[in-house]
Amino acid sequence: MKLAAVADVHFKQENQEENVRQFAAVNHMADLLVLAGDLTNHGRVEEMEACLAVLAHVEIPMVAVLGNHDHESGQQDTLAGMARVAGVNVLDGTCYEHDGVGFAGTKGFCGGFAPYELLPFGEGGIKNFVEIAEREAIKLDYGLAQLHTPRKVAITHYAPVLETVVGEPEPIFPFLGSSRLGRVIEQHRPALALHGHAHHGSFATKSATGVPIHNVALPILKKRQETHPFVIFEI
């Protein structure tokens, strides 16, 4: 299967024509399009409308997770519903199968990377914060566990490993992802793990057990001089 993937498009109404032209090309280049979060800039309904007006030109199956920006206006459930009605398979601790390949996804959360990740100790606020990160990891685990396909793909918005956030300012690494997601990926060993969020991170790494992990944030793809606003993987 040829998989096109991108994250952090942050669709804007101004770029509509160019986006339509560029995303319509995916129909001839891949069997499925993955959107790993931050479809919008401020999580507004009109931004999702602009996004879906572009994606209406995509004829192959689409699988997405939401990102933190899609939560900014507190309308994430509305946005996910709009996308689903438009035919985008929005994963949130759920899974989707196409042509023998299984996809499991969730937004994920931050909290940092082992051995320096934030632990649920002390104030209630810290415990609540860590609980959100743990819940997101459980959702990814649940989604992957539902799949019985020989090949699986894990999709998150936040990074599951440190290596693909390298390039961002070091003090913000703990806000860009969580090893809790990475440990779930190690446990299930999908064929591929995709994420975004770290716009200035690194494109590729492999987990300790050899799972290819890619940060497909659009600014990284642009830096790599990809000719389209997505990158193609063959799995």
Question: Does 47 engage in binding with Fe ion (CB under 5 A)?
Answer: no
Rounded least distance, CB 189 to Fe ion, Å: 26
Question: Does 38 engage in binding with Fe ion (CB under 5 A)?
Answer: yes
Question: Does 40 engage in binding with Fe ion (CB under 5 A)?
Answer: no
Question: Does 68 engage in binding with Fe ion (CB under 5 A)?
Answer: yes
Rounded least distance, CB 150 to Fe ion, Å: 31
CA distances to 77, 101, 182, 189, 193 from 210, in Å: 35, 19, 12, 8, 11
Rounded least distance, CB 43 to Fe ion, Å: 11
Question: Does 136 engage in binding with Fe ion (CB under 5 A)?
Answer: no
Instruction: Find all residues with CB under 8 Å of 35, minimum gap 6, and list them.
Output: 5, 6, 7, 9, 62, 63, 64, 65, 88
For Fe ion, which is the closer residue by CB, 137 or 191? 137
Distance CA 65, CA 89 (A): 8
Edge-to-edge strands of the sheet including 88-90?
88-90, 62-65, 32-36, 2-6, 231-234
Residue choice 43, 67, 182, 190 for contact with Fe ion (CB under 5 A): 67
> What is the per-residue binding string for Fe ion in 181-220, x denoting contact by CB under 5 A?
----------------x-----------------------
Binding segment (CB under 5 A) for Fe ion, from list 67-75, 125-133, 135-143, 224-232: 67-75
The contact set with Fe ion (CB under 5 A) reads 8, 38, 67-68, 197
